[in-house]
Structure formats: structure tokens, C-alpha cells
Amino acid sequence: MKPKINSETWRCVTGCGACCNLEPSDRPDLAEYLSSEEMELYLSMVGEGGWCINFDHKTRKCLIYEQRPRFCRVKPDIFQEMYQVEPEDFNQFAIDCCRQQITGVYGEDSTEMLRYNTEVRSRT
Ligand code: SF4
Ligand code: SF4
């Protein structure tokens, strides 16, 4: 029998947008990883209900995707820079971040979470 390996692969699922809810009270450690300029930018982006002002609620897409700030980019080099996550730990760390954010915004039994789990477990 083959040993069981973690076969989840991080990916951003379309139609989610959970991480575009920027409610500062849900992220008490912002100052630990944002520069003062980034903090200013971050706070300027917080709109109604904590949602980013650049988030299109109908399509659940970012309106400034190509120009989105560093703190919106889920990439190994950026996670290493911002959170000191080693590249080999990026996959699991990013998956955990998404699950935490989806749970907080939509709930752990939400359709969004079900879709997320299906996506990260497929196409291994
Ligand atoms: S929480 Fe994860 S899956 Fe959802 S929009 Fe953000 S990066 Fe994508
Ligand atoms: S700038 Fe775009 S990716 Fe970043 S939080 Fe706002 S909508 Fe989401």
C-alpha cells in the first residue's frame, strides 16, 4: 500500500473573495507585517462591512487585480518576505489562511468552503 501523502494543492477558487473582506478587527496583527505605508493603504481600502472597495460583489472579483497591493498577493516569495514562511511551507500555510478567512466570512459549512475543499483536493 502506498503511504498517504498530503495531496492538497493551494489555489484561489473563483467566486470566493473571502480574503477581500479586510475588516481590521478580524486581523489584529496587521501592524506586524504591514509597513506604515501599507497600513495606510490597507485602511483606505476598507469599505462597508469590512469589504475592500475594489471588490466587485457581483462577480466576486478584484477590480484592480493586476495592480493589487503586495499584501493581496498569495505567492511564495511574498509570503516569505511578509510572514517569513519558507517556500516549502507555502502550500500548507496558504491553504490554512484561505480556510481561516472563508470560515470567518462565510462559515465553515458554507458552499464556499465546500467548493474550496473540493478544488484544493482535486488535480493533484
Ligand atoms: S480566500 Fe483563498 S480562495 Fe478565497 S479569494 Fe482569497 S485566496 Fe482565493
Ligand atoms: S485589492 Fe483586490 S485582491 Fe486586494 S482586497 Fe481588494 S479586491 Fe481583494
> What's the gap in Å between 101 CA and the centre of ligand 1?
8
As given in the structure block, the three cell numbers for residue 88 are 516549502
Q: What is the pLDDT of residues 6-45, one digit of tens each?
A: 689 999 999 999 999 999 999 999 999 999 999 999 999 9
Do residues 70 and 41 touch, judged by C-beta distance below 8 A? no
pLDDT number for residue 122: 77
Mean pLDDT of the chain: 94
Residue with cell 458554507: 110
What's the rounded mean pLDDT across residues 71-80? 97
Q: pLDDT at position 40, please?
A: 98
Specify the 3-state DSSP secondary structure of 25: helix
21 lines ligand 2 (CB under 6 A): no
CA distance 75 to 72: 9
On the question of pLDDT at 86 being above 60, the answer is yes
Q: Is the CB–ligand 1 distance for residue 21 below 6 Å?
A: no
Which of 103, 108, 83 has the alpha carbon at shortest distance from 21? 103
24: Cβ contacts below 8 Å, ≥ 6 apart: 30, 42, 43, 46, 50
Ligand 1 atom closest to residue 102's alpha carbon, by position in its atom list? 1
Are residues 95 and 8 in contact, defined by beta-carbon separation less than 8 angstroms? yes
- Tell whether ligand 1 has an atom less than 6 A from the beta carbon of residue 18: yes
